[in-house]
Amino acid sequence: MTKRKPRWIWAAMACCVAVVSAGTMLPLPVPTTLLDFFQPGSQPTGGVVYESFISSNNCKTCHEFDDETDLWIYSSWQGSMMAQAARDPLFFASLAIANQDASFAGDLCLRCHTPGGWISGRSEPTDGSALISVDRDGVSCSVCHRLVDPVFTPGKSPPIDEGILADIDPLPASPGGGNFVLDPNDLRRGPYDDAFLPGHSWVDSPFLRDARICGTCHDVSNPVFLRQADDTYVLTPLDEAHPTADKYDMFPLERTFSEWLHSDFAAQGVDMGGRFGGNITVVRTCQDCHMPKTTGKGCNQPDAPIRDDLGMHELAGGNAWAQDMVLNLYPDDNLNPDHMQAGKAAAISMLQRASTLEATQTGAHLDVRVVNETGHKLPSGYPEGRRMWINVQQFDGDGAMIEERGHYNVLTADLTTNDTRVYEIRLGLDADVAAATGVPEGEGLHFALNNVVMFDNRIPPRGFTNDAFEAIQSAPIGAAYADGQHWSDTAYALAPDATSVAVNLYYQSASKEFITFLRDENITNDAGDVLYEQWELTGKSPPVLMASETVTLGPFATGDADGDGDVDLDDFSDYSRCAGGPNEPFVDPDCVHFDFDADADVDGQDFGAFQTRFGE
C-alpha cells in the first residue's frame, strides 16, 4: 500500500493511542501525524512522479474569449472561488487554527484547495507557507482536466487510465475527502471525443460530466474520528490511517455531494424550467447547475465546432465576498478585476435562484415559507460562520417601520438572532474530547477537534428522507423535517398597527463571531489578523439578499376591537360577545379582531392569544 511517510515530531508518543476518556489529557496541538489524515488515491510520495502543473495563464491563450459567441471560459473560471481557493484569506486563517488544534490537520485542507501544490509535495508545512505562485491557481484547469475516474469502465474510460489506476493502492472507494487520482503526465481530459486542434495532448473522459468528480472535494470528513454504533465519534489511534477509510465512518464536516446523492435530482432529475440556466431544463448533476450547458466554442480557433452542450465555467457557489479580499492581497497575480467582479455577480445570481420565498397573511400572523430549489441542503458546504436568515420588517399606514425581526447592523456586522429563523449548522465537542484537549465542551469553532453536530436546521432538498440523511450523517438536529419536505415554514405575529410587511432572505459567507474567533485564537501566524483587516475593508462579509416579498395586510385580530390603541377590559367585553364554540362562525365583522387563528370562529383557541395581548 502506497502511503505518505509520517513526519515524527512527537516521537515520545509514537505508540500512544488517542481513544480518549475523561481525565486523559493530550497537549494541543493533538499529536497527530500525516498518516492520521491519510486518504486513498494519488500521493505526493510513493514512487509515482507527477509532471508539473502549468499555470492557468497558459490556458487562456486558447480558452479566453471568442468574438463570435461571446463565450468566456478562462475568464469566468478566474472569477470563481475554485480559482481563488488557495488565495482566500478566510481559508488560511482557518488553516492556522486547524494546525494549532491538531498537528498536520492542514494537510486535509490543502489537498483540495491546492491539489497541484499538494501532490507536488509543497503542502509541508501544512500551513501552506511552502506553496509557490503556481499553487495559488487553486483548483486549476490542469488539475480538473487531469483527474482520473477511480472506477475504470472498459469501453468508456480512457484505456490509459487502467495502467494509472494499477499503480494506486489503495484506490478511493467513494468520492470525498480529496481522495483524487491524477494522471502523472500532463494529458488533459475532456468530455468530447472530437476535440479540435488542441494545443496539448488530450483524451476524452466521461468522468468530466459525472457528479462524482465534484464529490471528490465536496464531501469532507475528519479521519481522526471513528464513528461508533451509537453515532458518537471517538479519536482513532495516533499515527495510523483511519481503520476503514470509509467517509461515513469519519466525523462529517461537509456532506454536499451526499445530500445531492440522496435527492430527487440524483434519483431521476428535476425539471427546473431553466431556473439554473443553460440549454437543458431537467437538472441531474452538480454540473447542470454549476456548469450549465450553453452554446459556443470550447476554444477560440476559427474552425472550432460550435457545441450546444458546452459547460460554462463560472462554477458559482454562494461566496460573493472573497474576490474583493483576494484582489487587495494579490495585486501581482495577474487577476483581472472585471473577471473577479463577474465571479461575484455569478455567485449572487446563484444565491438568488437557490430558493423561493413565499409570504402570506393568516389572520394575525405572517406565514413565511422558504423553499429549497437546490440539490443539496440550503445552505450547504463549509459549516463554520456560514448562515442564512429571514428578516421581517412591519410598517404602519404612514410607511414607518414599527417592528423588525432578524435585524442586521451593517456597521457592526451584528445579527439579532433570537427573534427570527437562522439556518445554519453548528458543531462542537463532547465531554471526552473536551477533557482530553482542554477545549471547552459544547458548541465551538475548533474545526479539527469538533466531533458533535450540535444543531442543523438547514433546509433539505427535494427527495429528502430522514432515514437516508441519517445514514449520510446529515440528519436535521434541533429541527424537524418530514420525509419529502424541502421547505421551511415560520410564523411571525403581526404588530397591531401593521398595514404591510417586507420579508427578506439573506445569506452570509462568514459571521462576525467566526471572523473574530479566527483572529483572537491565532497564536502561530498573522493569518487571522490579515483576514480581520480585509473583513473590515470589504464590508464585513456583506450579506447577499437572496429573495424578498412584500405583503399588504388585510384586517386581522389585534384584540383592540374599539381601536383606542390598547387591549383592556372594554375589549374583553367585545371578546365575550364574540366568543362561541369551535366551528361557530361569527356574524359581526368586528369579531375578526379576536379570530387570532383565522379559522372564522372565536373560541378557546383564540383566548390564549387574546390574553397575551391583554394589557398592551
Predicted confidence (pLDDT) per residue in 31-77, tens digit = 999 999 999 999 998 889 999 999 999 998 888 865 555 667 999 99
- Kindly write down the DSSP assignment for every residue of 121-186, as one continuous string: TTT-STTTTT--GGGGG-S-HHHHTTB--SS--TTTS-THHHHHHHT-SSPPSSS-TT---B-SS-
* pLDDT tier at 117, thresholds 50, 70, 90: very high
Whether the pLDDT of residue 19 is over 60: the answer is: no
- What are 410's three cell numbers? 451593517
pLDDT band at 609 (very low <50, low <70, confident <90, very high): confident
Residue 592 resides in a domain: yes
Average pLDDT over every residue of 142-164: 97
Q: H helices within 425-537, ranges in order?
A: 431-437, 466-471, 512-520, 527-537
pLDDT, mean of residues 524-540: 98
Residue 7, pLDDT score: 30
Cβ 53 vs Cβ 187: under 8 Å = no
Residue 112 and residue 106 in contact, taking contact as beta carbons nearer than 8 Å: no
- Does residue 585 sit within a domain? yes
**Spatial distance between the Cα atoms of 498 and 397, rounded to a whole number of angstroms:** 7
pLDDT at 363 over 90: no
Residue 359 to residues 13, 368, 493, 534, 551, Cα–Cα distance (Å)? 59, 5, 13, 36, 7
- The reply to whether 606 falls in a domain is yes
At 379-423, the pLDDT tens digits run 999 999 999 999 999 999 999 999 999 999 999 999 999 999 999
| pLDDT of 141 over the 60 cut | yes
Q: Is the pLDDT of residue 504 over 60?
A: yes
Percent of the chain whose predicted confidence (pLDDT) is above 90: 77
Q: What value does the mean pLDDT of the chain take?
A: 92
Name the DSSP letter for residue 250.
Answer: S
Tell me the C-alpha to C-alpha distance, in Å, between residue 241 and each of 37, 40, 179.
7, 10, 13
Q: What is the pLDDT of residues 551-563, one digit of tens each?
A: 999 988 888 888 7
pLDDT band at residue 15 under the 50/70/90 scheme: very low
In which element (H, E) is residue 611 found? helix 604-613
- 18 vs 297: which has the higher pLDDT: 297
Q: What cell numbers appear for 95 in the block?
A: 488553516
The whole-number pLDDT of residue 6 equals 35
Q: 433 to each of 233, 239, 341, 387, 454, how far by Cα in Å?
A: 9, 18, 43, 26, 14
DSSP string across 105-125: THHHHHHHH-HHHHHTTTT-S
Length of the chain, in residues: 616
Domain count, the chain: 1
> Which residue reads 509543497 in cell numbers?
122
More confident residue, 305 or 498: 498
Residues of the chain above pLDDT 70, percent:
94
Examine residue 579 and state whether it is found in any structural domain, yes or no. yes
Q: Is residue 357 part of a domain?
A: no
Amino acid identity for residue 88 in this structure: D
Report pLDDT for 612.
81
372 domain residue, yes or no:
no
Q: What pLDDT is recorded for position 68?
A: 57
Examine the pLDDT at 469 and tell me if it is beyond 60: yes
Res. 13: pLDDT tops 80:
no
Average pLDDT over residues 571-600: 85
C-alpha cell, 109: 485542507
Would you say residue 605 lies in a domain?
Answer: yes
**For residue 595, what are the domain limits?**
569-613
Q: Let me know if 23 is exposed, middle or buried by CB neighbors in 10 A (0-12, 13-18, 19+).
A: exposed
Q: What is the pLDDT of residues 304-359, one digit of tens each?
A: 888 999 999 999 999 999 999 999 999 999 999 999 999 999 999 999 999 999 99
Where residue 605 falls among pLDDT bands split at 50, 70, 90?
confident
Least-confidence region, from 13-22, 260-269, 314-323, 400-409: 13-22
Q: Would you state the pLDDT for residue 481?
A: 98
Q: What is the pLDDT of residue 11?
A: 30
How confident is the model at residue 606, as a pLDDT? 85
Per-residue confidence (pLDDT) for residue 303, from 0 to 100: 82
- When comparing pLDDT for 524 and 614, which is higher? 524
pLDDT for 193: 87
Alpha helices in 172-321 (DSSP H): 212-215, 256-261, 264-267, 286-290
Mean pLDDT of 222-243: 96
Residue 63, pLDDT score: 87
In a domain, 575, yes or no: yes
